[in-house]
Structure 1
Amino acid sequence: MVLGGVLPDTAAVNVLVVVAASGAIWVGSGWLEQAAEGLSTHYGLPPVVQGTVVVAIGSSFPELASVVVTALAGVFDMGVGAIVGSAIFNVLVVPALSGLATDDDLDSSRTIVYKEAQFYMLAVSVLVITFALAVIYEPIALATGDAGGTADTVAAAGTAGASLTGSITRPLAVVPLFVYGLYIFIQWQDTGDYEAETGADVAVLREWGRLAAGLLVILASVEALVSAIESLGHAFGIPEFLAGMTIVAAATSLPDTLVSVRSARDDNSATSLGNVLGSNTFDLLVVIPVGVLIVGAVPVNFSTAVPMFAVLTLATVLLFGILRTDLALTTLESYALLVAYLLFIAWVVAETAGVTRILPA
């Protein structure tokens, strides 16, 4: 339903909504970037902190708001596949487009490589450990009615369900939140060590207002964009798994893409790359736990989560290695990241078509 039923749910209208929402996100991301730069200058924040915290949380605001809304409505779903699909898009496509948007190589730094990228890999590991703890201490056994066949088959299915499916409870959700608190503490320490340039006058209230306006525009536009894309997917018969892992994931990552590309064009590589890693860290360590804290308990299928996080880990390692090479992202390396994402899309299509069966049905 497009815009809550205000507009007719037709393919032509949905395409127009996608175009209009994309343009609005472009405007909102510009406001967000400008406000983040002004506020970071006023408060003396390093460029890396500006990208990994201020801009990253802002561009991840739609995901957080969506989780809160669905949780309060009682229809919250873990959505591990969609979140991981968005994270893979951020790791592979966003840096690639940012690198191609610049005339020269997109400069990296030791701070990006040895702090932000490695902490992001730690965030992935922490979430996998949290899922494992859910399976170990809060297992969910399959009901006997869920499996057919003999009693031995039912028993085997129940055993498999108990060993691979668990419930993430509020105490477990605190674990990734605690790790994100450590991340903020590290950024706070780095801010204290940073010698900010003085002399720039910043209208603080205006910048905060611009930041709020940018967030609202991005939030409303992403919600409309995702709704229109989902309607188009249903109209053309695109499977939900394929649409969620690719189209919807790219749509929710559009604010991150536009912010990073804008920053790269402005020769602000620290903000461009920092936004990618900081946004994913926020999504994994904050967005998912907040939904769990609201609902109380969320089931997770470990056999599905682990292969997806394995792909995400490989993508992160690839980006880590490329950024460490000469501490720059070249045009050739940007194309290599895009090729890696196309291989990921091919695998998702193969899983949807049943050609490969790495993930459970």
Structure 2
Amino acid sequence: MDLVKIALGLVLLLLAGDVLVKGAVALALRLGIPSLIVGLTVVAFGTSAPELLVSVNAALAGQPGIALGNVVGSNIVNMLVILGLPALISVIHASQIDTRRSYAMMLAASALLIGLAFMGTIGRWQGLVLLGALVLILADNLRSARAHRNARAAEEEDLGDPHMPWVKISGFIGLGLLGLAFGADLLVDGAVAVARIAGLSETVIGLTLVAIGTSLPELVTSVMAALRKQADVALGNVIGSNIFNIAAILGTTAVIAPLPVPAEMLQFDLWVMLAAALTLAPFVVLRKDIGRLSGLVLLVLYLLYMGVLLWGGIGA
């Protein structure tokens, strides 16, 4: 039954990811704003729904380590796997878009999280600081969207249907987000059950299977976006999801319940997250395409991190 859950979850994720990308691109065309903005907001927030559910539930269940580890682990997965794997399938043309501003915000959010983590506990007021940062970032995205509102949809005429009815757009985005959430839930439940049968510890399950499982919506969305030559949606999805994970998910979770920060996470995992963010600099700052070799390097780096977690005993 657990294997059936895994299979159903994967199928649902694939279908939902494709539908979500179609709806997101059509939304951008209808509003006359860059697809990047949609990727940074609607798509990123939607694909981060599983992380939100897992972290809040873990905090309420008295498992703050899982809540914090899920977000940090998911961000690492996003940057190394969610961009690495699609690049093996189709080149992500990062050179064609400018994500430097949103990338700087992601780095700032990561630095803010590390600074708050060194206080020992991310409590209610730290959570409010993170939520405040989210409001500022959303306000900046809104300003950017307004500045580009009059941009000609002809620039993206081959990327989607600029005349798709609003009902259809809403249906695509709504079904896509729901499908991603349910698909990820099915897959994570099945994978965790199989892992427990195999004898893996709760800590290892939380840092690996849960983090990877809740990042599957981002992976499927990015793969579909890469196949559809939508580099802005793929890269915007990852950057936006990382910002949302830190500012919204940890912010909300910390307001609900304090999150003690394990010493091991301060010594290792948070710095891996920051290092992974810096590996994206050549693609964002220098606007280099993410090709197969780059994708392979990102995946190898993640496998090395996983090796340390599973066998080195350093991870939180």
TM-score if structure 1 supplies the norm length?
Answer: 0.78
Kindly indicate whether the alpha-carbon contact (under 8 Å) linking 1:22 and 1:221 is maintained by their aligned counterparts in 2: yes
1:41 match: 29
Displacement, 1:241?
2.6
Amino acid at match of 2:131: L
Match runs of 1:26-175 below 5 Å: 26-71=14-59, 74-75=61-62, 77-79=64-66, 80-102=68-90, 104=91, 106-109=93-96, 111-112=98-99, 114-132=100-118, 135=119, 166-175=120-129
2:250 match: 288
Q: 1:309 aligns with which of 270, 273, 276?
A: 270
Structure 1: distance between partners of 2:243 and 2:233:
15
1:276 match: 238
Displacement, 1:300?
2.6
1:338 match: 299
Match runs of 1:199-218 below 5 Å: 200-218=162-180
The alignment status of 1:197 with 2:159, answered yes or no, reads: no
Displacement, 1:196?
2.7
Deviates more, 1:79-88 or 1:228-237: 79-88
Structure 1: distance between partners of 2:39 and 2:212:
20
- Identical residues among aligned pairs (%): 25
Q: Which segments of 5 or more consecutive residues in structure 1 lack a partner in the other structure?
A: 1-12, 136-165, 353-357
Query: Cα gap change, 1:226/1:115 in structure 2, threshold over 3 Å: closer, same or farther?
Result: same
Kindly indicate whether the alpha-carbon contact (under 8 Å) linking 2:94 and 2:235 is maintained by their aligned counterparts in 1: no
Displacement, 1:76?
5.1
Structure 2: distance between partners of 1:105 and 1:214:
22
Structure 2: distance between partners of 1:306 and 1:185:
33
Structure 1: distance between partners of 2:187 and 2:28:
30
Kindly indicate whether the alpha-carbon contact (under 8 Å) linking 1:47 and 1:270 is maintained by their aligned counterparts in 2: yes
Aligned residue pairs total 307
C-alpha distance after superposition, 1:226-273 (max 9, x if no partner): 111111111001223333222222211111011011111111111111
The structure showing larger relative contact order (alpha-carbon pairs under 8 Å, at least 6 residues apart) is 2
Deviates more, 1:339-348 or 1:241-250: 241-250
1:144 match: none
Amino acid at match of 2:278: V
Kindly indicate whether the alpha-carbon contact (under 8 Å) linking 2:5 and 2:189 is maintained by their aligned counterparts in 1: no
Query: Cα gap change, 1:81/1:321 in structure 2, threshold over 3 Å: closer, same or farther?
Result: same
CA RMSD after TM alignment: 2.2
Structure 2: distance between partners of 1:116 and 1:26:
27
Kindly indicate whether the alpha-carbon contact (under 8 Å) linking 1:105 and 1:331 is maintained by their aligned counterparts in 2: no
Structure 2: distance between partners of 1:105 and 1:259:
13
2:159 match: none
Query: Cα gap change, 1:359/1:220 in structure 2, threshold over 3 Å: closer, same or farther?
Result: closer
2:198 match: 236
2:158 match: none
Structure 2: distance between partners of 1:85 and 1:168:
17
Kindly indicate whether the alpha-carbon contact (under 8 Å) linking 1:130 and 1:175 is maintained by their aligned counterparts in 2: no
Higher Cα radius of gyration:
1
1:188 match: 142
Kindly indicate whether the alpha-carbon contact (under 8 Å) linking 2:134 and 2:248 is maintained by their aligned counterparts in 1: yes
Query: Cα gap change, 1:198/1:327 in structure 2, threshold over 3 Å: closer, same or farther?
Result: closer
Displacement, 1:308?
1.0
Structure 2: distance between partners of 1:247 and 1:74:
19
Structure 1: distance between partners of 2:51 and 2:264:
24
Query: Cα gap change, 1:186/1:25 in structure 2, threshold over 3 Å: closer, same or farther?
Result: same
